[in-house]
Amino acid sequence: MPSGVYIKTEKHRENLSIALMGRKTGFVPKTAFKKGHIPWNKDEKHKKECMVCRKVFWVNNFRKNKAKFCSRQCSNGYNITRTSLKGRKFPERTGENHPNWKGDKCKKRQQRNDSAYVNWMRSIKKRDNNTCWLSNEECGGYNIVHHIFNWIKYPKLRYELTNGITLCQAHHPIKRAKEKLFRKLFSYLVNQE
C-alpha cells in the first residue's frame, strides 16, 4: 500500500468503534461544567449608582466591580471632563484640604537635609573619628550619628555637639524605650571627653 494514501473502509470504522467503546474521546478541560456549577453570567443583578448623573442602575454579576456609568452618554461625558482637567491643580484639594494630608512631614524631612544638620553630623563624626562609641565584636554596618535627646522633643538641642554620638548600625537604639535607657550612658560618654 502506498504511503500517505489510506482510506478507511466500513470494516475499519466498525473495528475502531468497538475498540474505543467505553473510552472518552476528545479533550475535556479542567474547567468543564460540573454538577452544581454556577455559570459566571448567571442572572444575579447588582445595584450601582452612576458616577455622573447619580442615577441607580442594575448590572449583571460579572460587571459588578467595573460598572461605573448608566449609559455611554454618561461615560463619554465623564471622560471629556477628565481629559480637559488633566494637568490642572485644584487649590481646594491641595495641602491641608487634601484627604491624604499628614501634616508638615515634608518640612520635617527638609530640616533633616538642612546644611546646619549636615554640618552637625560631620562635626560629630570628626570628633568621634567616625567609630562607634560602644565598639565591640557586635559592631556592624555603617555608622550613624544619634541624637541623645530626641530631635522632636528637644528642638533647642538639635545642633548641640554634646547631644550627638556616633554609633554603628548594630548599637543604634531603634525603639524609643531603649533610647531612654541609653540616654544617661551616652551623655556620660560624650561629656567625659
Which three cell numbers, joined as nine digits, stand for 7? 482510506
Residue 37 Rama label (left phi>0; alpha psi -120 to 50; beta): beta
Q: Provide the Cα torsion 151, 154, 157, 159; round to 10°.
A: 30
Domain boundaries, the chain: 45-84, 109-192
- CA distance linking residue 128 with residue 168, whole number of Å: 12
- pLDDT tens by residue, the chain, 193 residues: 456 666 777 887 777 777 766 666 566 666 666 777 776 666 678 888 888 888 899 888 778 888 888 888 888 777 655 555 556 666 667 777 777 877 766 666 666 677 888 898 999 889 888 888 777 777 777 888 888 888 888 888 888 888 888 888 887 776 666 777 777 777 777 666 5
Amino acid at residue number 140: G
Q: What is the pTM of this model?
A: 0.43
Q: Measuring CA to CA, which residue among 107, 114, 133, 120 is closest to residue 191?
A: 133
> In Å, what is the CA distance from 3 to each residue of 6, 7, 8, 16?
8, 11, 14, 21
Q: Measuring CA to CA, which residue among 135, 189, 138, 136 is closest to residue 164?
A: 189
